[in-house]
Amino acid sequence: MTHRMVKGPRRTVRTTAMGFAAAAAVVLVAVELPSTASAAAPSWAPAGQAAIHPGVMTSTEGGDCTSNFIYYNATDVFIGQAAHCAGTGAPTETSGCTAGTKPLGTKVTIKGASKPGILAYSSWITMAQRHEQDNNTCDHNDLALVKIDPADRDKINPSVPFFGGPIGISTAPIASGDRIYTYGNSPLRAGVTALSPKAGFSLGDDAGGWTHTCYTVTPGIPGDSGSAVLTKDGKALGVLASLALAPVAGSNGVGDMSRELDYLNAHGGLGTVSLAPGTEPFHPVIP
């Protein structure tokens, strides 16, 4: 399990199901991806029949994570994971701007897909290439997109299991005590799907709005990295990125989706990427 420590008084660890051993640093390789214009949403498989959807596991050469949302541009469809799911560095690395990572083009196994996906965007790679200087951005911008092979396009639905949605992207601050919902699929739960959907509450925003501290029962654990987190009204709040040890043990850090997607669209080289809304209505089934 690869755990990434975060700066400051809140001690957190990344929640990727990988070996704890530090991997060798890798050279960040720039891969040119064509810029494309935005387009209408693709057609989707029925939710009950889709093998690929938010919450399926992705594996980036041993880094097992839970996917978050489905995204698309004018030509391609992507599934989201945390950028640190492709990380190669030590657990104590504190900044996505300097952390080691596998390059763009790395093959990613997607559960339910017949062919591997391809790592098409990583906030970590983009920030390193741009020499990003903002500490909040470096510490909390933790989003990667995996391009789904065209052969699997008819297997995709963007609805979050159990809850439905998302119905859009949250752009307003989230208050302490606000209800949140998330779906984790860590292999450490041994396939017990009843433990995957979780409800909880926000402990407030931090780092200039780049991260939200949330608490659920049970908390996100290694392998839940990248999980979708929804607001009380079904909007995409963000991506589960870390497990806090203090000040509230068992709380999770959630990267802000609106900021992460804005950064991707400004600097990611994929044209305009949109988050796909779910085809199923949002329904918070956990009281």
Domains of the chain, earliest start first: 12-26+54-158+260-275 (no CATH), 179-256 (2.40.10.10)
Query: 84: closest CA among 5, 29, 147, 7?
Result: 5
Read off the pTM: 0.85
C-alpha pair distances (Å), 151 with each of 23, 33, 147: 33, 20, 11
Q: Tens-of-pLDDT digits for all 287 residues of the chain? A: 333 423 223 334 455 554 322 333 333 333 333 333 456 889 999 999 999 999 999 999 888 899 999 999 999 999 999 999 999 987 667 799 999 999 999 999 999 999 999 999 999 999 999 999 999 999 999 999 999 999 999 999 999 999 999 999 999 999 999 999 998 776 555 555 666 788 999 999 999 999 999 998 765 556 688 999 999 999 999 999 887 655 566 788 999 999 999 999 999 999 999 999 999 999 997 65
d(CA 56, CA 180): 20
Structure tokens at 126: 């983009």
